[in-house]
Amino acid sequence: MSKHIDPSYFYCLPSGSKVHPCRLIQKDGTLMWKHALLHQNTPNLPKSEAHEQHIIKTAQRLEELNSWVSHVNDLYDFLSPISWYVPSEPELSEGISVHFVHTSLSNNEVYDGLRSHILDHEKLELAGSYLHFRRC
């Protein structure tokens, strides 16, 4: 039995990297490429290296924000993206915005816990059933 993953399962990114959907975007993080690129079970591959880099930088920032509201030792306590890179939606077409919820806290609790950590060039909003974060 082969121990290799079928290459058709990998995402080919504009930088030339091939990543498995379950690979972490940031080492020691919680966010995987599938969180950023899957929308309604359809992969949306970045159209340019700039979009790919925006996704990576947004993942890094979400991991930082996650540390302010999640318990470090709980594997099931984290920010969970709903929609991230969706080229057909103007708000999500660059990889710098993400809609998310928290796996164990209410949106209001997360908003209250994060708003003092949002930088001047960032935006965090309550948007009904999710939170909307925009990096720049």
pLDDT at 129: 95
pLDDT at 27: 87
Domain ranges of the chain: 7-134
User: What is the enclosing helix (H) or strand (E) of 101?
Assistant: strand 97-102
Model confidence pLDDT, tens digit, residues 68-112: 998 766 667 889 999 999 999 999 999 999 999 999 999 999 999
Q: What is the mean pLDDT of residues 37-46?
A: 92
pTM over 0.75: yes
Q: For residue 31, what pLDDT band results from cuts at 50, 70 and 90? A: very high
Q: What is the DSSP string of 18-65?
A: EE-TTSBSSTT-S-BHHHHHEETTEE---SSHHHHHHHHHHHHHHHHH
